[in-house]
Structure 1
Amino acid sequence: MQLTTRGRYAVTAMLDLALREDCAPIRLADIAQRQGISLSYLEQLFAQLRRSGLVLSVRGPGGGYRLARKHHLLSVSDIIDSVNERIDATRCDGRGDCQQGSTCLTHHLWVELSENLHDFLRGITIADLIRDNAAGQDRGATELDVSDD
């Protein structure tokens, strides 16, 4: 099971936005450059994030995006869910037709794993990631970066 770049990039971009929240609204082009994410891909993600009420857009000169919620009220699962990313460890997308139309022997195990992963990510907020990033900076880590493993 893997989280696709869609979910990874959405979380990364939201953290980038949160780390610069004290500044003027943040342009997607700036996030794209800092994080090495395609601008057109970010535009698609932010359209979904805006529709979900996670970001606010500011139009005009000096415009860009801001978080719509406080850091401690915005979970990683909120972000992943808003870009229609599914966390699913089953082979059948949770339908239960994994083995020639019937439920496989381990279906319930994979469903429970998916639920636990979602619960785990619901318990991690942007505030937690900001703290983790600051701790990483203290240890000499470089600016937030995302790469596909």
Structure 2
Amino acid sequence: MKISTKGRYGLTIMMELAAKFGEGPISLKSIAEKNNLSEHYLEQLIAPLRNAGFVKSIRGAYGGYVLSKAPSEITTGDVIRILEGPISPVDFTEEDDPAKRDLWLRIRDSIANVMDSTTLEHLINYNAEDNRDSKEGYMFYI
């Protein structure tokens, strides 16, 4: 599974809104300029996030977007599923070898577990120095 620009840029939008949570609306133009992204593309990505109830639009001269929930209540899995669809490393059918099918299911579940346990709050408060030697970091077994 490869996350496209939809998922990556959508997560960027959500992290920017999370970082300013409670401070008022943020324009997509400011997010686009800060991250050197296309404002038009971000407009396409914000619609499904708004329709899913994760962001609200505020109209007016000082309008923009705000999170509908606290950053601690929105996971990266929520954002990626809205923009990318179901999380799965491969498409497999019922006819696949049971051993391979089990492998793909375990990989899918491991990815989903990491994404569903990582909130926007975790991402905006992440400090690389604190986590470099952490014994509580993620360990993946494939």
Shorter-chain TM-score: what band? 0.7 to 0.9
1:30 maps to 30
Question: Given the superposition, is the C-alpha separation of residues 15 and 40 from structure 1 closer, same or farther in structure 2, using an over 3 Å criterion?
Answer: same
Classify the secondary structure of the residue corresponding to 2:125. Answer: helix
Task: Give aligned pairs, total.
Answer: 129
Deviation at 1:137, TM superposition (A): 9.2
Q: Which residue of 1 aligns with 2:118?
A: 124
- Contact preservation (8 Å) 1:25, 1:66: yes
| Letter of the structure 1 residue corresponding to residue 56 of structure 2 | L
Which residue of 1 is the match for residue 102 of structure 2? 108
User: TM-score, structure 1 length as denominator?
Assistant: 0.78
CA distance in 1, matches of 2:86, 2:38: 22
Instruction: Check if 1:3 corresponds to 2:11.
Output: no
For residue 56 of structure 1, what is the aligned residue in structure 2?
56
Q: Deviations over 1:61-101 (max 9, x none)?
A: 111000000111111111111223332111x2x4x16xxxx
Q: Which structure 1 residue ranges, 5 or more long, are not aligned?
A: 139-149
Question: 1:35, 1:137 → 2: CA distance?
Answer: 23
CA RMSD of aligned residues (A): 2.0
C-alpha contact (below 8 Å) 1:10/1:79 kept by paired residues: yes
Identity %, equivalent residues: 32
Q: 1:128 is matched by which residue type in structure 2?
A: H
- Equivalent-residue separation in structure 2 for 1:23 and 1:71 (angstroms): 13
Take 2:113 and 2:83, find their aligned partners in 1: how far apart are those partners?
Answer: 17
CA shift, 1:24, in A, is 2.9
- Contact persistence 2:50–2:56 (CA under 8 A): yes
**Which position in structure 2 is the counterpart of 1:21?**
21
CA distance in 2 between counterparts of 1:79 and 1:49 reads 7
